[in-house]
């Protein structure tokens, strides 16, 4: 097994471990220690998919917190959320080039919003998108598939 194969193996192991932890805990704890339901989805930034989009549905007045968590060494992320009219609701940059970025907003109307995740440093790799609050996240382009080497 050469160096590149070992790196891919450890990257895959890291993704699986992180997913197991996220799925098993599946709650955020706020500053008031109240449990907030959460959902997680896996995403992949690649040459074929330099941006990954998700649908985010909720009802007017519902607060929601969104985090993008890199599980690939060197990959840093940023994302935007737009309402059903395409109006920017939240923009989360990553000037510090950290592995986890997040932000929150409150649904201004009952509709489907779009979350678009991109690399902040032109690196490819795996990430987890975590949404806390009474919102539903889904991949509008169908099931997420890992690119084949």
**89-119: pLDDT as tens digits:** 999 999 999 999 999 999 999 999 999 999 9
Q: What is the pLDDT of residue 37?
A: 81
Q: Is 11 within 8 Å of 126 (Cβ atoms)? A: yes
Which band of pLDDT confidence, cut at 50, 70 and 90, is reported for residue 140? low
Name the residue among 104, 118, 23 with its Cα closest to residue 76: 118
Separation CA 114–CA 5 (nearest Å): 35
What is the pairing mode between strands 77-82 and 111-119? antiparallel
Distance from the Cα of residue 107 to its chain's centroid: 18
The H or E element spanning position 5 is helix 3-25
What pLDDT score does 115 carry?
97
Lowest-confidence region among 35-39, 62-66, 117-121: 35-39
* pLDDT for residue 6 is more than 50: yes
């Amino acid at each position: 097994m050469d160096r590149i194969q070992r790196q891919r193996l450890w990257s895959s192991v890291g993704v699986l471990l992180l997913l197991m932890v996220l799925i098993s805990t599946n709650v955020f704890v706020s500053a008031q220690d109240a449990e907030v339901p959460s959902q997680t989805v896996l995403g992949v930034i690649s040459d074929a998919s330099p941006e990954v989009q998700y649908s985010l549905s909720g009802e007017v007045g519902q607060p929601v917190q969104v985090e993008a968590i890199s599980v690939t060494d060197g990959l840093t992320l940023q994302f935007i959320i737009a309402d059903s009219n395409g109006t920017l609701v939240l923009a989360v940059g990553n000037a510090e080039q950290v592995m986890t970025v997040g932000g929150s907003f409150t649904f201004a109307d009952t509709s489907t919003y779009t979350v678009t995740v991109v690399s902040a440093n032109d690196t490819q790799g795996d990430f987890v998108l975590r949404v806390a609050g009474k919102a539903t996240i889904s991949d509008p382009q169908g099931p997420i598939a890992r690119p084949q080497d």
